[in-house]
Amino acid sequence: MALISFTNKGIYCIPGGFYIDPWRPVDLAVTTHGHADHVKWGNKAYLCHELTKPILNQRLGPDLTIETLPYNKEITINGVKVSLFPAGHVIGSAQVRLEYKGEICVVSGDYKTEYDGISTQFEPVKCHTFVSESTFGLPIYKWQPQETIFSEIRNWVSENHDRNKTSVLVAYSLGKAQRLIKGLAGYSDIYVHNAIANLNERFIGAGVDLPETQRITPEIKKDELQKGIVIVPPALADGRWIKSLIGPATGICSGWMQVRAGRRWRSADAGFALSDHADWPGLLAAIKETGAEKVFVTHGYTATFSKYLNEIGIEAEEVKTQYGNEEEEEKVEISADAGQKIQEDAV
110 contacts 54 by C-beta, under 8 angstroms? no
Residues 186, 173, single domain; the answer is yes
The Cα–Cα gap between 178 and 169 comes to 12
Split into its structural domains, the chain has a count of 2
Q: Residue 346: inside a domain, yes or no?
A: no
Residues 123, 83, single domain; the answer is yes
**How confident is the model at residue 235, as a pLDDT?**
87
Residues 99, 45, single domain; the answer is yes
Residues 8, 130, single domain; the answer is yes
Percent composition of the chain: helix, strand, coil (DSSP 3-state, to 5):
30, 25, 45
Residue that finishes a domain, picked among 212, 245, 274: 274
Specify the CATH number for the domain of residue 136.
Answer: 3.60.15.10
Residues 181, 196, single domain; the answer is yes
Q: Residue 8: inside a domain, yes or no?
A: yes
CB burial of residue 227 (10 Å; 0-12, 13-18, 19+) = middle
Residues 18, 130, single domain; the answer is yes
Q: Which residues pair with 205 in a beta bridge?
A: none
Name the residue type at position 159: E
Q: Residue 235: inside a domain, yes or no?
A: yes
Q: Which residues contact 188 (CB under 8 A, 6 or more apart)?
A: 157, 227, 228, 229
Q: Residue 135: inside a domain, yes or no?
A: yes
pLDDT tens string, the chain, 347 residues long: the values are 689 999 999 999 999 999 999 999 999 999 999 999 999 999 999 999 999 999 999 999 999 999 999 999 999 999 999 999 999 999 999 999 999 999 999 999 999 999 999 999 999 999 999 999 999 999 999 999 999 999 999 999 999 999 999 999 999 999 999 999 999 999 999 999 999 999 999 999 989 999 999 999 999 999 999 999 999 999 888 788 898 999 999 999 999 998 865 555 557 899 999 999 999 999 999 999 999 999 999 999 999 999 999 999 999 999 988 887 555 444 444 444 433 343 333 33
The Cα–Cα gap between 215 and 296 comes to 41
Q: Global pTM?
A: 0.92
Q: Residue 260: inside a domain, yes or no?
A: yes
Residues 32, 70, single domain; the answer is yes
Taking every pair of Cα atoms in the chain, the longest distance, rounded to a whole number of angstroms, is 65
Q: Which residues of 101-126 are buried (b: 16+ CB within 10 A; e: fewer)?
A: eeebbbbbbbbbbbebebbbebbbbe
Cα-to-chain-centroid distance, residue 301: 17
The Cα–Cα gap between 105 and 125 comes to 9
Closest CA to 71 of 46, 45, 44, 52: 52
The Cα–Cα gap between 295 and 131 comes to 6
Residues 256, 282, single domain; the answer is no
The Cα–Cα gap between 153 and 145 comes to 13
Residues 310, 230, single domain; the answer is no
The Cα–Cα gap between 314 and 274 comes to 29
Q: Residue 338: inside a domain, yes or no?
A: no
**How confident is the model at residue 341, as a pLDDT?**
40
Residue that finishes a domain, picked among 274, 295, 315: 274
The Cα–Cα gap between 139 and 261 comes to 17
* Structural domain boundaries, residue 118: 4-140+276-326
Residues 202, 212, single domain; the answer is yes
Q: Residue 340: inside a domain, yes or no?
A: no
Q: Residue 206: inside a domain, yes or no?
A: yes
Residues 200, 214, single domain; the answer is yes
Q: Which alpha helices (H) appear in 46-89, and where do they start and end?
A: 53-60
135 contacts 277 by C-beta, under 8 angstroms? yes
191 contacts 231 by C-beta, under 8 angstroms? yes
Specify the CATH number for the domain of residue 159.
Answer: 3.40.50.10890
Size of the chain in residues: 347
255 contacts 324 by C-beta, under 8 angstroms? no
